[in-house]
Amino acid sequence: MHILTVIGARPQFIKAAVLSRYIRNNYSLGITENIIHTGQHYDDNMSDIFFKEMGIPKPKINLNAGSGNHGYTTSLMLKGIEKVIIEKQPDALLVYGDTNSTLAGALAASKLNIPIIHIEAGLRSFMMIMPEEQNRKLTDHLSTWLFCPTSNAVKNLENEGIIHNKLSSLPSSDNKYVYLSGDIMYEASLFYRNKINKKSDDENFILMTIHRAENLNNANRLKSIVSAINKLDNHKFIFPIHPGTNKILNEYGLYFNNHVKLIPPIGYLEMISYEMSCSAVFTDSGGLQKEAYFYKKPCITIRDSTEWIELVESGWNTITGTDPEKIIFAVNNIKIPYEYPLLYGDGNCAKKICEVLIE
């Protein structure tokens, strides 16, 4: 079975590292893989360093789509992926998560009748205004194999009429295979935490990230976040900030006070060391919400909803939106829950996926 895998953003590099390693280490299964890098994240700290750190074979195909408006970049990816599909003639195309790279890969494969494998299927924030929600819903409805990280994700698909039917042996978007595989990022966390030689030298800090368009491109939301953080000067924050985010803050004339330590973007392993050392996580990231839980850190999420609802239900994640009063209250009342339920499988996600695909 020859798979063409499409990746383009940091979370996808992490997920691909797990599955690609398993495929390479178990060549007797008969699965081969070619990786396309769309170039959605293209600077060294957001791309190349992840391939070096995580042992992913450097993609031979880079579309260099870069950043820009959604339609423009997605169309560049779609054009490039279609060309590679025609050239390589894969048995299936594999996509991760909910980025524009995900949607471009799914659309290109669907139009050419190539079955699609979607890893991290079934997630829903129930906010269609979010580009990520649009990407994940469209991809799920186009996919053949849908690997869900949680039982909630399986239920979300059922509610949209996507069920495991296996009507024939011919894979297609009309013949769905839905599986509860567990979370592939949980498997990554189990593997890479053992690669950390030492934790961060900083102590008693909250790890902060802000990158979502819904926050960065809305002046009022961003001002509310900065205002709340600046009032929380009894806490220390560490913020690995991307140059693009810094530029937007400067354009709005927004600055953090001295209790917020701004550092350049960091690689995955260094990020893990900060996650293991911090007291809590403050973020609008989907992946970091889970990583906080993996390392038993409470999380405050500055979004209006989350696709990882089980973290909220178990008390490990608090949703505040960008309301300053809610943010301040949540940070000042951070608590570690008494219980730590196993929400994301047994850490053998890659094995389960491969077993299903060669079944």
Give the position of tokens 């939301």: 221
Annotation says 211 is catalytic? yes
Tell me which fold the domain 2-183+345-357 belongs to.
Answer: Rossmann fold (3.40.50)
- Write the CB contacts of 214 (distance below 8 Å, at least 6 apart in sequence): 129, 130, 221, 284, 303
Please list, residue by residue across 1-10, b when 16 or more beta carbons sit within 10 angstroms of its beta carbon and e when fewer do.
eebbbbbbbb
The DSSP secondary-structure symbol of 29 reads G
pLDDT less than 70: residues of the chain: 41-50, 57, 166-172, 198
pLDDT value at residue 59:
77
The one catalytic residue among 37, 41, 164, 211: 211
pLDDT value at residue 55:
72
Question: What are the residue ranges spanned by the domains of the chain?
Answer: 2-183+345-357, 192-332
Pick the CATH number of 192-332 from 3.40.50.12780, 3.40.50.11540, 3.40.50.2000, 3.30.70.100: 3.40.50.2000
What is the distance of C-alpha 302 from the center of its chain?
A: 16
pLDDT value at residue 250:
94
Give the strand pairing for 92-96 and 116-119.
parallel
Give the position of tokens 């959605």: 40
Q: Could you read off the pLDDT of 197-219 as tens digits, one per residue?
A: 767 777 899 999 998 888 999 99
Residue 65, helix vs strand vs coil: coil
Judge whether 2-183+345-357 and 192-332 match in fold.
yes
Q: Could you read off the pLDDT of 151-162 as tens digits, one per residue?
A: 999 999 999 999
pTM above 0.75, yes or no: yes
